[in-house]
Amino acid sequence: MRKANIAVFASGTGSNFSAIVRAVKTGVIKANLALLICDNPDAPVINKAVRAKIRTVIIAAKDFPSRDSFEKAVTGVLRGCNVDLIVLAGFMRILSPVFVKSYPKRIINIHPALLPSFKGAHAIRDAFEYGVKVTGVTVHFVDEQTDHGPVIMQEPVRIGNKDTLPRLEKRIHKVEHRVYPEAIDLCLRGRLRLRGRKVVR
C-alpha cells in the first residue's frame, strides 16, 4: 500500500511548511510530502523547500489571464503528482468554488483564531486589538466560503495582561506548528468522518 501524497500550498515565510517537513521526516505524518506549490516567486518558503529537497512549483497568478486558467495549471500539477491531500499553509489566495469542489474533503487549512471568530488575514492582530481573553488556532476542511468549513481541531490560547502582539503571534505560531501535523495525520489515517457540517472522529 503506497503512502499518501501531500501537496502544501504556501505564499510566505513557510513556518508551517517547515513544521510539516519535520513531522514527515520524524514519522508523525506517515506520508510523502510530494510537492510545494507557491504563488509568490519571492516567498522565503521556496528556499526552505529547496533545502528540504521538496519538489517546488511556482505558479504565479499574474502570469495567467484568469483565475480559472491559473487553477487549471495548478490542477494539472496536482494530477501529475497523484496528490491525495492539499494542505494550505499561509496560502494567500482564495480558491474558487470550482476548485474546492474538485477536491471534496481533501483540502485543509489552518487559521490563527478560534473560528468563526476573527476571520481574515489579520486574525491575531484583530483578536489582540479587540481585547478578547482567549483566542487560538483552528484547523478545518476548506469549503466554498472563506475561513469556513467543518472544524477538525481547535486549541485555545489565552491572552495575558503582559502579552504584546509579537509575543502573542509567536505563541500562536508555536501551537500551529504542533496542531497542524496532528490534524494532517488524522486526515490521512481516515480517522475523520463528516456528518453534515460536523467532523466525527
pLDDT digits (tens, 9 = 90+) for 147-171: 999 999 999 999 999 999 999 999 9
Task: Tell me if 113 sits within 8 A of 135, measured CB to CB.
Answer: yes
Given the residues 111, 140, 148, 173, select the one marked as catalytic: 111
* Percent of the chain clearing pLDDT 90 (strictly above): 92
Predicted pLDDT of residue 190: 77
What pLDDT score was predicted for residue 191? 67
Choose the weakest-confidence range: 9-13, 34-38, 188-192.
188-192
From 64, 102, 104, select the one nearest 187 (Cα to Cα).
Answer: 104
Nearest Cα neighbor of 75 from 49, 101, 53 is 101
What pLDDT is attached to residue 14?
97
- CATH number where 65 lies: 3.40.50.170
Catalytic status, residue 111: yes
- How many structural domains does the chain have? 1
Flag the least confident range among 50-64, 67-81, 108-122, 185-199.
Answer: 185-199
Phi, psi of 170, rounded to the nearest 5 degrees: -65, -45
Whether the CB-CB separation of 60 and 80 falls below 8 Å is answered with no
pTM recorded for the entire structure: 0.94
